[in-house]
Amino acid sequence: MPYVDRQNRICGFLDIEENESSGKFLRRYFILDTQQGSLVWFMDNPQNLPVGTDCVGSLKLTYISKVSDATKLRPKAEFCFVINAKMRKYFLQANDQQDLVDWVNTLNKATKITVPKLSDNQQNSENQRALPDVVGPKKQVSYKTEIIGGVPIVTPTQVYECGDVANKSEREAMQRSHSQLPYFLGRTAQDHTVIKSGYCVKQGAVMKNWKRRYFLLEENSMSYFKSDLEKEPLRMIPLKEVHKVQECKQSDIMMRDNLFEVVTTSRTFYIQADSPEEMHSWIKAVSGAIVAQRGPGRSAKVRFFFFFAPDAALLFFPLC
């Protein structure tokens, strides 16, 4: 779903048909900047790209006449919507139905507030008041709960609404190599139950650079790979070594959105998710897996000492 970053811009991943009528959709990171009056898209989140990297596409909001659902226009493309701008139609694919609705509403509202009806000062004040409406209230989404490996896993039911699981898995594998979507069926079966999987961006231990990696959370470990096609992980983090998982308190220093940290005995891993929802989902999943691995709350061990009392039975007393 689109989210607001630290610069008050609306952001998120979408697939776009960059070459008109090609039918080929590519994964891109979109930024809707109402103050600059533009919609731009990059190969990845600019926070993960070299400084000064240019966008791969842009569109002025004043050129947009309408944004609408394109299900009937592109029946084979799931969660598709279209942006009508000047003499061209831009077809995009959202992650799910709710994501589609949010983007369509957000873009339509953003294009309306760019129409110059007031003076510059009045318009700026109106825009500031309208910004919270652009994001809109978070709509209710239906979820289902499953118990996997003793951990309650909550997933949106919209992900499974259209098409069978196998076809969806193939589509995700081919089109969404940078997606944060759930683990697909193309990978060989694992020895342990997969609790959560998807792409995040991780900070390196030595160079401190940021690279996109495929993360896999299982019952006893959290691993990351170069891609979802790799069989051997770059590193496996045993959950028994993880002390805590939480939203990163240094995110302001690192200037990164959706940043969380996995603190282990030897190192703190800084990981950036693609959205606030994904960040909280990872924190909840890893924390739940740790709790499930360690079992129910362990009571403190109680030690006893004993002595013989005159004319009495053997007595035991706890040592606190």
Confidence (pLDDT) at 250: 76
Mean pLDDT estimate for the chain: 77
Q: What percentage of the chain's residues is helix, strand, coil (to nearest 5)? A: 25, 35, 40
Confidence (pLDDT) at 305: 44
Tell me which H or E stretch contains 33.
strand 26-33
Q: How confident is the model at residue 61 (pLDDT cuts 50, 70, 90)?
A: very high
Which residues are CB-neighbours of 161 under 8 A, at least 6 positions away? 96, 97
CA–CA distance, 168 with 171 (Å, rounded to integer): 5
In this predicted structure, the answer to whether residue 304 has a pLDDT above a threshold of 80 is no
Confidence (pLDDT) at 255: 81
Confidence (pLDDT) at 154: 56
**What stretches of 219-313 adopt beta strand conformation (E)?**
221-225, 235-238, 242-247, 259-264, 268-272, 303-308
In this predicted structure, the answer to whether residue 66 has a pLDDT above a threshold of 60 is yes
pTM of full prediction above 0.85: no
Confidence (pLDDT) at 308: 47
* More confidently predicted of 150 and 261: 261
Of 41-45, 87-91, 223-227, 304-308, least confident by mean pLDDT is 304-308
Tell me which H or E stretch contains 82.
strand 80-85
Confidence (pLDDT) at 183: 37
**Cβ atoms of residues 136 and 105 within 8 Å:** yes
Mean pLDDT value of segment 283-309:
67
* More confidently predicted of 111 and 313: 111
Q: pLDDT, tens digit, for every residue of 135-193?
A: 444 445 555 556 555 555 555 554 433 444 444 444 444 444 444 443 333 444 444 68
Q: Where are the alpha helices (DSSP H) in 214-275?
A: 251-254
256, exposed or middle or buried, with CB in 10 Å at 0-12, 13-18, 19+? buried
In this predicted structure, the answer to whether residue 257 has a pLDDT above a threshold of 50 is yes
Q: Where do we find the tokens 């897996």?
A: 289
Of 24-38, 137-151, 164-178, 274-288, least confident by mean pLDDT is 164-178
Q: Tell me, what DSSP letter sits at residue 71? A: T
Q: How confident is the model at residue 92 (pLDDT cuts 50, 70, 90)?
A: very high
Which residues are CB-neighbours of 164 under 8 A, at least 6 positions away? none
In this predicted structure, the answer to whether residue 60 has a pLDDT above a threshold of 70 is yes
CA–CA distance, 212 with 225 (Å, rounded to integer): 9
Mean pLDDT value of segment 218-240:
93
CA distances from 131 to 9, 105, 112, 140, 299 (A): 9, 13, 12, 21, 50
Q: What are phi and psi of 225, to 5 degrees?
A: -125, 165
**Cβ atoms of residues 309 and 315 within 8 Å:** yes
Q: Residue 259's Cα: distance from chain center in Å?
A: 10
In this predicted structure, the answer to whether residue 73 has a pLDDT above a threshold of 50 is yes
In this predicted structure, the answer to whether residue 318 has a pLDDT above a threshold of 60 is no
Which residues are CB-neighbours of 219 under 8 A, at least 6 positions away? 149, 192, 193, 195, 289, 292, 293
CA–CA distance, 165 with 159 (Å, rounded to integer): 9
Sign of CA dihedral 254, 255, 256, 260: positive
